Amino acid sequence: MIGCACQVCKSTDPFDRRMRSSLLLTLADGNNLVIDTGPDFRAQMLNARVSKLEHVLYTHTHADHCHGFDDLRAFHFRDHSSVRCYVARLHEGEFRQKFAYAFRDTGYIGTKPQVTLVEFDEAPFSLLGFEVEPAYAVHGNVQSAVFRIGRFAYATDFKFFSPELIARWRGKIDTMVASGIRYGDHPTHSCIQQTTALMADLQVKTGYITHISHDIMHARDQPGLPPGISFAYDGLRFGVELSQ
Protein backbone atom coordinates (compact mmCIF):
# COMPACT_ATOMS: atom_id res chain seq x y z
CA MET A 1 0.00 0.00 0.00
CA ILE A 2 1.31 3.46 -0.88
CA GLY A 3 2.95 5.12 2.11
CA CYS A 4 2.54 2.10 4.38
CA ALA A 5 5.46 0.88 6.49
CA CYS A 6 3.82 -2.25 7.90
CA GLN A 7 5.64 -5.57 8.04
CA VAL A 8 3.98 -6.87 4.89
CA CYS A 9 4.49 -3.71 2.83
CA LYS A 10 8.19 -3.71 3.78
CA SER A 11 8.58 -7.46 3.17
CA THR A 12 11.23 -8.64 0.74
CA ASP A 13 9.35 -11.91 0.19
CA PRO A 14 8.12 -11.86 -3.45
CA PHE A 15 4.93 -13.63 -2.31
CA ASP A 16 4.03 -10.44 -0.39
CA ARG A 17 4.28 -8.17 -3.46
CA ARG A 18 0.80 -8.07 -4.96
CA MET A 19 -0.48 -6.30 -8.05
CA ARG A 20 -4.20 -5.90 -8.64
CA SER A 21 -6.12 -9.12 -9.14
CA SER A 22 -6.30 -10.47 -12.68
CA LEU A 23 -6.04 -13.79 -14.48
CA LEU A 24 -4.44 -14.90 -17.75
CA LEU A 25 -5.71 -18.11 -19.34
CA THR A 26 -3.44 -19.43 -22.07
CA LEU A 27 -4.94 -22.25 -24.11
CA ALA A 28 -3.09 -25.11 -25.76
CA ASP A 29 -3.53 -23.45 -29.16
CA GLY A 30 -1.86 -20.25 -27.93
CA ASN A 31 -5.00 -18.14 -27.61
CA ASN A 32 -5.13 -15.89 -24.54
CA LEU A 33 -8.01 -14.78 -22.35
CA VAL A 34 -7.67 -12.24 -19.54
CA ILE A 35 -10.10 -11.61 -16.69
CA ASP A 36 -10.01 -7.91 -15.69
CA THR A 37 -7.58 -5.18 -16.72
CA GLY A 38 -6.72 -3.33 -13.53
CA PRO A 39 -4.24 -0.45 -13.21
CA ASP A 40 -1.35 -2.95 -13.15
CA PHE A 41 -2.43 -4.57 -16.43
CA ARG A 42 0.48 -3.22 -18.50
CA ALA A 43 3.10 -4.46 -16.04
CA GLN A 44 1.34 -7.83 -15.76
CA MET A 45 1.32 -8.33 -19.53
CA LEU A 46 4.99 -7.34 -19.76
CA ASN A 47 5.93 -9.71 -16.94
CA ALA A 48 4.03 -12.57 -18.58
CA ARG A 49 5.46 -11.69 -22.02
CA VAL A 50 2.02 -11.66 -23.62
CA SER A 51 2.20 -10.47 -27.23
CA LYS A 52 -1.29 -11.44 -28.37
CA LEU A 53 -4.65 -11.07 -26.65
CA GLU A 54 -8.04 -11.80 -28.16
CA HIS A 55 -10.55 -11.75 -25.30
CA VAL A 56 -11.13 -10.01 -21.95
CA LEU A 57 -13.82 -10.86 -19.40
CA TYR A 58 -14.76 -8.13 -16.94
CA THR A 59 -16.09 -8.85 -13.46
CA HIS A 60 -17.27 -5.29 -12.75
CA THR A 61 -16.39 -1.64 -13.35
CA HIS A 62 -14.55 -0.68 -10.17
CA ALA A 63 -11.28 1.10 -10.94
CA ASP A 64 -9.01 -1.62 -9.57
CA HIS A 65 -10.46 -4.09 -12.09
CA CYS A 66 -10.83 -2.11 -15.31
CA HIS A 67 -8.64 1.01 -15.33
CA GLY A 68 -5.89 -0.67 -17.33
CA PHE A 69 -8.30 -0.73 -20.27
CA ASP A 70 -6.35 1.86 -22.27
CA ASP A 71 -3.35 -0.48 -22.54
CA LEU A 72 -5.42 -2.85 -24.68
CA ARG A 73 -4.48 -0.54 -27.57
CA ALA A 74 -0.99 -2.09 -27.57
CA PHE A 75 -2.39 -5.32 -28.97
CA HIS A 76 -3.79 -3.46 -31.97
CA PHE A 77 -0.32 -2.14 -32.78
CA ARG A 78 0.89 -5.70 -33.41
CA ASP A 79 -1.78 -7.32 -35.59
CA HIS A 80 -4.39 -4.56 -36.17
CA SER A 81 -7.20 -6.66 -34.76
CA SER A 82 -9.67 -5.69 -32.06
CA VAL A 83 -9.94 -7.25 -28.63
CA ARG A 84 -13.34 -8.63 -27.69
CA CYS A 85 -14.31 -7.28 -24.26
CA TYR A 86 -17.11 -9.14 -22.50
CA VAL A 87 -19.04 -6.89 -20.09
CA ALA A 88 -22.17 -7.75 -18.14
CA ARG A 89 -25.27 -6.05 -19.49
CA LEU A 90 -25.85 -4.37 -16.13
CA HIS A 91 -22.30 -2.89 -16.27
CA GLU A 92 -22.25 -1.95 -19.95
CA GLY A 93 -23.54 1.61 -19.61
CA GLU A 94 -21.04 2.57 -16.92
CA PHE A 95 -18.22 0.89 -18.85
CA ARG A 96 -18.98 2.94 -21.96
CA GLN A 97 -19.18 6.09 -19.85
CA LYS A 98 -15.83 5.46 -18.13
CA PHE A 99 -14.05 4.95 -21.44
CA ALA A 100 -16.22 7.13 -23.67
CA TYR A 101 -13.27 8.21 -25.84
CA ALA A 102 -12.94 4.61 -27.09
CA PHE A 103 -16.59 4.29 -28.16
CA ARG A 104 -17.60 7.71 -29.52
CA ASP A 105 -16.09 10.92 -30.79
CA THR A 106 -15.17 12.96 -27.73
CA GLY A 107 -12.54 15.08 -29.46
CA TYR A 108 -9.76 12.86 -28.15
CA ILE A 109 -6.74 12.86 -30.47
CA GLY A 110 -4.59 9.79 -30.10
CA THR A 111 -4.60 6.04 -30.44
CA LYS A 112 -7.66 4.46 -28.90
CA PRO A 113 -8.11 0.88 -27.72
CA GLN A 114 -9.59 -1.06 -30.62
CA VAL A 115 -12.19 -3.25 -28.96
CA THR A 116 -15.48 -4.93 -29.66
CA LEU A 117 -17.82 -4.76 -26.68
CA VAL A 118 -19.84 -7.93 -26.12
CA GLU A 119 -22.63 -7.89 -23.55
CA PHE A 120 -23.58 -10.94 -21.52
CA ASP A 121 -26.21 -11.77 -18.96
CA GLU A 122 -26.49 -14.96 -16.89
CA ALA A 123 -26.93 -17.20 -19.92
CA PRO A 124 -23.91 -19.39 -20.78
CA PHE A 125 -22.00 -18.38 -23.90
CA SER A 126 -19.27 -19.91 -26.04
CA LEU A 127 -15.75 -18.51 -25.97
CA LEU A 128 -12.72 -20.07 -27.69
CA GLY A 129 -14.58 -23.36 -27.96
CA PHE A 130 -15.51 -23.53 -24.28
CA GLU A 131 -18.72 -22.69 -22.43
CA VAL A 132 -18.55 -19.76 -20.03
CA GLU A 133 -21.24 -19.73 -17.35
CA PRO A 134 -21.53 -16.27 -15.77
CA ALA A 135 -23.42 -15.49 -12.60
CA TYR A 136 -23.74 -12.52 -10.27
CA ALA A 137 -22.65 -12.13 -6.64
CA VAL A 138 -23.31 -9.21 -4.30
CA HIS A 139 -20.45 -6.72 -3.82
CA GLY A 140 -21.68 -3.82 -1.73
CA ASN A 141 -24.30 -1.98 -3.77
CA VAL A 142 -23.21 -3.57 -7.05
CA GLN A 143 -23.16 -7.06 -8.53
CA SER A 144 -19.87 -8.64 -9.62
CA ALA A 145 -19.83 -11.17 -12.42
CA VAL A 146 -18.30 -14.52 -11.48
CA PHE A 147 -17.42 -17.16 -14.04
CA ARG A 148 -17.32 -20.93 -14.36
CA ILE A 149 -15.52 -22.37 -17.38
CA GLY A 150 -15.65 -26.14 -17.35
CA ARG A 151 -14.15 -27.36 -14.06
CA PHE A 152 -12.62 -23.96 -13.27
CA ALA A 153 -14.20 -20.95 -11.56
CA TYR A 154 -13.08 -17.36 -10.96
CA ALA A 155 -14.80 -15.06 -8.49
CA THR A 156 -13.48 -11.81 -7.08
CA ASP A 157 -14.99 -8.84 -5.25
CA PHE A 158 -18.07 -10.47 -3.78
CA LYS A 159 -19.56 -10.62 -0.30
CA PHE A 160 -21.34 -13.96 -0.66
CA PHE A 161 -22.77 -16.43 -3.17
CA SER A 162 -26.51 -16.96 -3.18
CA PRO A 163 -27.76 -20.38 -2.03
CA GLU A 164 -29.08 -20.95 -5.55
CA LEU A 165 -25.66 -20.34 -7.12
CA ILE A 166 -23.93 -22.58 -4.60
CA ALA A 167 -26.39 -25.37 -5.35
CA ARG A 168 -25.92 -24.92 -9.11
CA TRP A 169 -22.12 -25.01 -8.99
CA ARG A 170 -21.63 -27.53 -6.17
CA GLY A 171 -19.48 -30.48 -7.27
CA LYS A 172 -18.72 -28.93 -10.67
CA ILE A 173 -15.49 -27.10 -9.79
CA ASP A 174 -12.07 -28.70 -9.46
CA THR A 175 -10.06 -25.46 -9.29
CA MET A 176 -11.27 -22.09 -8.05
CA VAL A 177 -9.70 -18.65 -7.67
CA ALA A 178 -11.73 -16.49 -5.29
CA SER A 179 -11.13 -13.32 -3.31
CA GLY A 180 -10.57 -13.26 0.44
CA ILE A 181 -9.40 -9.85 1.51
CA ARG A 182 -8.33 -10.58 5.11
CA TYR A 183 -9.38 -12.40 8.25
CA GLY A 184 -12.30 -10.97 10.22
CA ASP A 185 -15.10 -9.16 8.41
CA HIS A 186 -15.56 -6.57 5.68
CA PRO A 187 -18.73 -4.76 4.62
CA THR A 188 -18.46 -5.56 0.89
CA HIS A 189 -15.86 -8.32 0.48
CA SER A 190 -15.72 -11.97 1.42
CA CYS A 191 -13.00 -12.55 4.01
CA ILE A 192 -10.69 -15.54 4.15
CA GLN A 193 -12.72 -17.70 6.51
CA GLN A 194 -15.85 -17.03 4.44
CA THR A 195 -14.07 -17.84 1.18
CA THR A 196 -12.63 -21.11 2.47
CA ALA A 197 -16.10 -22.07 3.74
CA LEU A 198 -17.54 -21.29 0.29
CA MET A 199 -14.90 -23.46 -1.38
CA ALA A 200 -15.75 -26.31 0.99
CA ASP A 201 -19.48 -25.90 0.29
CA LEU A 202 -18.81 -25.97 -3.46
CA GLN A 203 -16.62 -29.09 -3.03
CA VAL A 204 -13.66 -27.37 -4.68
CA LYS A 205 -10.59 -29.60 -4.89
CA THR A 206 -7.94 -26.89 -5.25
CA GLY A 207 -8.53 -23.30 -4.19
CA TYR A 208 -6.49 -20.12 -4.53
CA ILE A 209 -7.33 -16.99 -2.55
CA THR A 210 -6.74 -13.71 -4.36
CA HIS A 211 -7.41 -9.99 -3.77
CA ILE A 212 -5.45 -10.19 -0.50
CA SER A 213 -4.82 -7.11 1.65
CA HIS A 214 -1.61 -6.17 3.42
CA ASP A 215 -3.02 -7.70 6.61
CA ILE A 216 -1.87 -11.06 5.22
CA MET A 217 1.75 -12.20 5.23
CA HIS A 218 2.20 -15.21 2.97
CA ALA A 219 4.79 -17.17 4.98
CA ARG A 220 3.06 -16.48 8.29
CA ASP A 221 -0.55 -17.09 7.25
CA GLN A 222 -0.33 -19.78 4.55
CA PRO A 223 0.06 -22.64 7.11
CA GLY A 224 -3.28 -21.70 8.66
CA LEU A 225 -5.29 -22.37 5.51
CA PRO A 226 -7.25 -25.62 5.08
CA PRO A 227 -5.67 -28.42 3.01
CA GLY A 228 -6.00 -27.81 -0.73
CA ILE A 229 -6.25 -24.03 -0.38
CA SER A 230 -3.38 -21.58 -0.90
CA PHE A 231 -2.84 -17.87 -1.18
CA ALA A 232 -2.35 -16.75 -4.77
CA TYR A 233 0.62 -14.59 -5.66
CA ASP A 234 1.93 -12.63 -8.62
CA GLY A 235 3.18 -15.00 -11.32
CA LEU A 236 1.37 -18.08 -9.96
CA ARG A 237 0.85 -20.70 -12.67
CA PHE A 238 -1.40 -23.76 -12.61
CA GLY A 239 -3.33 -25.95 -15.02
CA VAL A 240 -7.14 -26.10 -15.23
CA GLU A 241 -9.71 -28.27 -16.98
CA LEU A 242 -11.93 -26.07 -19.14
CA SER A 243 -14.11 -28.87 -20.51
CA GLN A 244 -17.33 -29.74 -18.77
Average pLDDT along the chain: 95
Please give the C-alpha separations between residue 135 and each of 64, 127, 156, in angstroms, as whole numbers: 20, 16, 12
In terms of DSSP bridges, do strands 125-127 and 130-139 run parallel, antiparallel, or are they unpaired? antiparallel
The confidence score (pLDDT) of residue 111 equals 86
Q: What angle do CA 33, 58, 153 make, to 5 degrees?
A: 65
pLDDT digits (tens, 9 = 90+) for 138-183: 999 999 999 999 999 999 999 999 999 999 999 999 999 999 999 9
The confidence score (pLDDT) of residue 81 equals 84
In this chain, the answer to whether the domains covering 21-121 and 132-233 adopt an identical fold is yes
The confidence score (pLDDT) of residue 70 equals 96
Number of H helices, E strands in the chain: 8, 12
Domain 132-233: CATH architecture, name and number where available: 4-Layer Sandwich (3.60)
In terms of DSSP bridges, do strands 152-155 and 142-149 run parallel, antiparallel, or are they unpaired? antiparallel
The confidence score (pLDDT) of residue 91 equals 97
CATH 3.60.15.10 fits 21-121, yes or no: yes
Q: Where are the chain's structural domains?
A: 21-121, 132-233
